[in-house]
Amino acid sequence: MELGLRQFIIKRVATTIAIVFVIITLNFIIFDLMPGSPLNTYVQPGKIRDPAQLEALKALFGLDQPTHVRYLIYVKNMLTFNLGISFQNQKLVATEMTERLLNTFMLIGMSTILSIVLGIIIGVYAAHKRGSTFDSGSVLFSLTFYSLPSFWIGLVLLMVFSVYLGLFPIAGATPREWGDPNIWPTPPQWPQDWLEILRGRLYHMILPVSTLVLFQTGGYILLTRAVMIESLTDDYILTARAKGLNERVVLFRHALKNASLPLITNIALAFGFMFSGAIITEQVFTYKGMGWWIWNSIAFYDYPVLQGVFYVIALCVVGANFIADVLYGLIDPRVKYG
């Protein structure tokens, strides 16, 4: 029986709620079964400690409770977004997360949007000019940069434009004179003019964004080219051209629209994983975003941070897939909710 949009959304919401509980359960089990203990961060192996101190640490981390009790507490905390306290600095994970979100959203958001726009436009024209020099060059560019490690691209850009030419900063998300306790050990002295703040941030984002765009654009070019080549052979394209429509209208309004379902899935996943940041690229450029934070949390065995971040990333991916499912029917009338 065919379901309408409203029934489909209700069904998907119920499925999403069940998926969220599965995510919470798996997140708890994975970190509960991992070797080691948070106590290892504070207690050196083989060194005698006061038993009362050890019991106090266990109570602090909730390790004195049985597994099922800790699980129920964990479920409650995740549903209320009480993500715990970081082992590294005893700050709330949610608070630290908000401090890094702006850097990540600016970096990943800008690079993802640029990659999608450039990849789709180049991919459409590569399919349109299949077999031409432009098509061969775009495919060669895509395969080259898509296969290169992102950290290698970043290091080359740093060596050329920062070390040799001195055009761009070598590290940080903000100018050094502003101060950053995680990178530059000076008191924060942020300017009052928001335009100056924006210029400073954009100046430090040029190389990281360029690295991600070079790495990501190739994937969108190849995917767009593949779906467009198939779409351009359909009969409705011949009909549109026979009507005398502008070739740009034929390519983007007709062919691309009907070939966009795989692109929607890919774009939805890209934005769903945007919350995780660019771990390797942020580490190369010492860019203090979510990826930089995740890397350092892994090195420090900061389980509350990793649990909280992985949980929020999973929610973003589930939400992105839900939006993609709804968009399928709105863009392509051939898709039925059922």
Q: Each residue of 182-238: pLDDT tens digit?
A: 554 454 566 666 777 778 788 888 899 999 999 999 889 999 998 888 888 777 787
Rg, Å, the chain Cα set: 24
**Regarding predicted confidence, which is higher, 226 or 66?**
226
Poorest-confidence range of 34-38, 111-115, 247-251?
34-38
Alpha carbons within 13 A on the beta-carbon side of 261? 12
pLDDT at 274 over 80: no
- Going from N- to C-terminal start, the domains of the chain cover 5-79, 97-331
pLDDT band, very low/low/confident/very high, at 300 (cuts 50, 70, 90): confident
Q: How large is the average pLDDT for residues 237-261?
A: 80
pLDDT of residue 47: 55
Q: Residue 137 has what pLDDT?
A: 92
Task: Please report, for residues 75, 269, 273, 309, the alpha-carbon distance to residue 295 in angstroms, rounded to integers and kept in the order given.
Answer: 25, 21, 16, 12
The pLDDT, as a whole number, for residue 185 is 47
Pick the closest to residue 319 from 2, 15, 3 (CA basis).
15
CATH architecture assignment, domain 97-331: Orthogonal Bundle (1.10)
5, pLDDT greater than 70:
no
Residue with tokens 């608070």: 95
Q: Average pLDDT, stretch 82-90?
A: 79
Q: Given this model, what pLDDT does residue 45 score?
A: 55
d(CA 180, CA 208): 18
Span of 9-23, 40-54, 220-234 with lowest mean pLDDT: 40-54
pLDDT at 221: 92
Q: Which of residues 33 and 46 earns the better pLDDT score?
A: 33
pLDDT at residue 1 greater than cutoff 50: no
Average the pLDDT over 312-330 and give the result: 81
pLDDT at 112 exceeding the cut of 60 = yes
Whether 160 shows a pLDDT value over 60: the answer reads: yes
Q: How far apart are CA 261 and CA 272, in angstroms?
A: 16
Average pLDDT of span 285-306: 83
- Cα 320 to Cα 7, 9, 56, 217, 231: the distances in Å are 19, 14, 42, 20, 25
Instruction: Inform me whether the pLDDT recorded for 290 exceeds 60.
Output: yes
Mean pLDDT score of the chain, rounded to an integer?
80
Percent of the chain residues past pLDDT 70, beyond the cut: 80
**Is the confidence at residue 294, as pLDDT, over 80?**
yes
pLDDT for residue 156 is more than 90: yes
For residue 191, is it left (φ>0), alpha (ψ between -120 and 50) or beta?
A: beta
Which of the pair, 273 or 224, is modelled with greater confidence? 224
Tell me the whole-structure pTM to 2 decimals.
0.77
Average pLDDT over residues 90-110: 84
More confident residue, 269 or 192: 269
Say if residue 142's pLDDT is above 70. yes
Provide the pLDDT confidence category of residue 136 given band limits of 50, 70 and 90: very high
Percentage of the chain beyond pLDDT 90 is 13
Whether 318 has a pLDDT exceeding 70, the answer reads: yes
